[in-house]
Structure 1
């Protein structure tokens, strides 16, 4: 196992990549080698066990937890790992399979203190909290120490707070950067392998520029990714994974994944913004027109100011949401939500009031004259309230959760890291649609393994080719309140659906709730009564459209106005283009001296090229036919007659 894995390490290093995490079979072989007390490669083996095994409820984590638990309880031995070290390593596994043995060790006189310290920093305990609380009530001092630590939010306060001033170097990409620029769809099968997929980032949008980021990071500098518009598109999670792989920091004991990073955008797509929050990044919407590539800037998060190195103001912003500093400190929005729930649960068990360790969340009150529209009422019901006012941060219960196949493997990874062995939502559905027509080898493996993973946790897995997730959920007529179909265009006939990336889909499935900031909705009032046979649908027309119709564009960093010439159906586009170019010089002569007129895009160039290639193909084919006839007939007259006829 070791020789094969070391060969794999070298192969990946040649590609500029870290090795893949250990799977269950490799971890089992590693543990067996550690039992044999090896003298050669001893520290390297220990490093593999500590840092290259996925956490949570990954099958490899189950092998690792069982091995370390056996050492901690004296049932197994290793010259490299003593009982106390085994407990410390169990404490790095985030939650899941490591929790039961750590709770057992709270009753061990020698290792109880070490188990207490390990559990105090573990958030993914879920129902195991009741067992720790019961031990604390029975007088176990170590168990009470764990509950008190959770109640004091030491898992949070021991982490460094968001700095009041952050020095960074600007890496700027002009214009709009969509998720396909960061996570190209043609490389979709590699998305679960974050380091490999991240190599394709920007290959068409800003080719060759990843070396700039790498050089800055190698110099120990923090990089701020800057764009006019960032994150439009559907592949939010994989786009964030790729971006943060280049600008973020390694997560201790979690292989091939990073968190953190700074993202500055004139506009940041809402779901991408939320996904960046989940990844522990610092996304800020601000005016970026004065930020230049390679410029050193100082970001003052709490003052809402960005300056250059000399203190000259470049931009102002408002840090939103209010919990963003806490999210960065906790390692992401998901970690903060789970940690806060654990802290409040521990404080209730100890008879304490709410914690003051976190930023207080302020919920706007609805105007008495307005009341709640239908959407806030539906979400309110999912929260156990009469309604939820727009702008309120809430955690509605998710009754239905859908996942589609292109992001399914990433969702599965997130579910493992959340230590989820059983879904908490009423219905979790996994579809296999986008990868069915022309499946790659990776897709075929996903079709074989992902259904079992979902059904083991109580989910429903459709068969490959059964259809896309949103079409299934659109047809559901089961009573529902709130849910998510992953895709932004999923709608529920009964209830309300909110779009989410693969991380939030996993969160909603595992915990049965999903963080949400209630959006605005329209209130329509009617007086009188509808006549027989007339429904609300007959008198109301709702249309989905952009909130702001304004748009802008730049060319070589200068403002420009785009004008499109669109041929009508059944017209000659080439003739129109020829006439345009014939008149172009005359139009230019009439423009002011400081205004230029350029052609940004002309699709007829590709049409002309296609026609030229067809003509060339016909000539070649004609020549080949004549040549073949002559070769077979060996007579010019017999060759010329059919050629002329053709």
Structure 2
């Protein structure tokens, strides 16, 4: 297994990309090696099981969770992974196949505190919330601690707030960047393979771009994060793959999650609405402002709360901006709009169960303008999905969905997104 994997790593290195995440079969082989590790490979094996298996409800995650659960419960052994470490690794898997074991361990005298620690920052609980609530109601102290942690939104408050000043190096692509520039249609086959597909971003030379990957790597050598800047950004068809490619170059690695990144800064005179939303979802900070005085290689300080961009280390204002919504700051802190929505929902459920008022930890969305006029049919349709009579332009809503459709090449991407969110239904 290791020989084949190292061959794969070498092949990918020739392409200039990181290896693919492990498959279910590879994880099964890896588990056998973890039980009887070859000399000298111990550290490598632990790294593979920790960092190279997809989270959520991926088939490989099922195999990983099964093994770690067996170790935690004393049904399997590895000289490299003790019970406590197994629980810690279960807690890094976001949700899905790891949840039942972590909840069971709330009754385990030896591991109860470790299981509770991991559940406190686990948001993808869904129906398993009731199991924890039931234990808490039954007097289980660890389950009560988990419920209190969720109610206090510790999963959110434990994350760093956005700093007052973000220093970035500018990578500017003048003119209009559409989603086909970022995720070309002729490379659609590679979209689920984020690092490989990112190679196609800006593959056609244009003003300011000759080799985007090399240019961005050069800017990273300044020691600062890179911000993507353009006049118009993200027009054209809606492609999550466009966001994936951008974040592969300007985002941050996600701990324990292979081949995915979040975060990053995107600045443009105009950002297309759907591209803006997909950047929000992934934890990036997109905003609109005058970019005429920004050029590739500039080092700038973004004063997030003041709405100003200044030359690094000076007070010379280059541009001013206003965030689309203050909630964007919470979204970036939470790691994206999707984690924020799910986590906020978990906090609200915990508070309702405990008889507490709505949390004041989060920034409240701005309510749309009140009107005594009726609703259009479209406003009623969206309203029904949100449990209200109708929605107004500019109002914030969270529709409930039971079906996700996907066209042509995006099927595998949609599947991967649903797996990451631990959608087991």
Which bin holds the TM-score, normalised by the shorter protein? over 0.9
Deviation string for 1:389-442 (max 9, x for gaps)? 2101101233654211211111010010010112xxxxxxxxxxxxxxxxxxxx
Q: Which residue of 1 aligns with 2:160?
A: 160
Q: Which residue of 2 aligns with 1:12?
A: 12
Q: Which residue of 1 aligns with 2:284?
A: 281
CA contact (8 A) 1:383 1:396 kept: yes
Q: Which residue of 1 aligns with 2:71?
A: 71
- The question of 1:418 aligning with 2:413 is answered no
CA contact (8 A) 2:198 2:245 kept: yes
Deviation string for 1:59-116 (max 9, x for gaps)? 0000000000000000000000000010000000000000000101110001000000
Deviation string for 1:483-519 (max 9, x for gaps)? xxxxxxxxxxxxxxxxxxxxxxxxxxxxxxxxxxxxx
Per-residue deviation at 1:317?
A: 1.3
Per-residue deviation at 1:6?
A: 1.1
CA contact (8 A) 1:302 1:319 kept: no
SS at structure 1 position matched to 2:200: coil
Deviation string for 1:506-536 (max 9, x for gaps)? xxxxxxxxxxxxxxxxxxxxxxxxxxxxxxx
Counterpart pick for 2:331 among 322, 327, 331? 327
The alpha-carbon distance between structure 1 residues 400 and 411, as it changes in their structure 2 partners (threshold 3 A), is closer
Q: In structure 1, what is the Cα distance between the partners aligned to 2:277 and 2:58?
A: 25
Per-residue deviation at 1:13?
A: 1.9
- The question of 1:381 aligning with 2:381 is answered no
Unaligned runs of 5+ in 2: none
- The question of 1:201 aligning with 2:201 is answered yes
1:54-453 matches, cutoff 5 A:
54-204=54-204, 205=206, 206-309=209-312, 310-368=314-372, 370-398=373-401, 401-422=404-425
1:30-45 matches, cutoff 5 A:
30-45=30-45
Q: Which residue of 2 aligns with 1:478?
A: none
Per-residue deviation at 1:17?
A: 1.1
Deviation string for 1:438-489 (max 9, x for gaps)? xxxxxxxxxxxxxxxxxxxxxxxxxxxxxxxxxxxxxxxxxxxxxxxxxxxx
Deviation string for 1:226-250 (max 9, x for gaps)? 0000001115211111111000100
Per-residue deviation at 1:330?
A: 0.5
SS at structure 2 position matched to 1:393: coil
Name which structure has the greater RCO, CA cutoff 8 Å, separation 6+.
Answer: 2
Q: In structure 2, what is the Cα distance between the partners aligned to 1:16 and 1:168?
A: 25
Deviation string for 1:300-321 (max 9, x for gaps)? 1211111122221111111112
**TM-score (norm: length of structure 2):** 0.97
Q: In structure 2, what is the Cα distance between the partners aligned to 1:235 and 1:217?
A: 28
Q: In structure 1, what is the Cα distance between the partners aligned to 2:9 and 2:276?
A: 34
Q: In structure 2, what is the Cα distance between the partners aligned to 1:48 and 1:166?
A: 33
Matched residue pairs, number? 421
Deviation string for 1:551-601 (max 9, x for gaps)? xxxxxxxxxxxxxxxxxxxxxxxxxxxxxxxxxxxxxxxxxxxxxxxxxxx
Structure ID, larger Rg: 1
CA contact (8 A) 1:382 1:398 kept: yes
CA contact (8 A) 2:201 2:212 kept: no
**TM-score (norm: length of structure 1):** 0.64
SS at structure 2 position matched to 1:127: helix
Per-residue deviation at 1:373?
A: 3.2
Deviation string for 1:119-174 (max 9, x for gaps)? 11111110000000000111111111111111111111111111111111111011
CA contact (8 A) 1:287 1:315 kept: yes
Per-residue deviation at 1:371?
A: 4.1
The alpha-carbon distance between structure 1 residues 360 and 106, as it changes in their structure 2 partners (threshold 3 A), is same
SS at structure 2 position matched to 1:230: strand
Q: In structure 2, what is the Cα distance between the partners aligned to 1:243 and 1:75?
A: 44
Q: In structure 1, what is the Cα distance between the partners aligned to 2:214 and 2:203?
A: 12
The alpha-carbon distance between structure 1 residues 265 and 94, as it changes in their structure 2 partners (threshold 3 A), is same
CA contact (8 A) 1:65 1:97 kept: yes
Q: In structure 1, what is the Cα distance between the partners aligned to 2:386 and 2:8?
A: 49
Q: In structure 2, what is the Cα distance between the partners aligned to 1:179 and 1:388?
A: 29
Unaligned runs of 5+ in 1: 423-646
Deviation string for 1:156-207 (max 9, x for gaps)? 1111111111111111011000111111111110111111111111111433
CA contact (8 A) 2:219 2:297 kept: no
CA contact (8 A) 2:369 2:394 kept: no
Q: In structure 1, what is the Cα distance between the partners aligned to 2:333 and 2:26?
A: 34
Q: In structure 1, what is the Cα distance between the partners aligned to 2:246 and 2:295?
A: 19
The alpha-carbon distance between structure 1 residues 418 and 345, as it changes in their structure 2 partners (threshold 3 A), is same
Per-residue deviation at 1:382?
A: 2.1
SS at structure 2 position matched to 1:284: strand
Q: In structure 1, what is the Cα distance between the partners aligned to 2:43 and 2:402?
A: 48
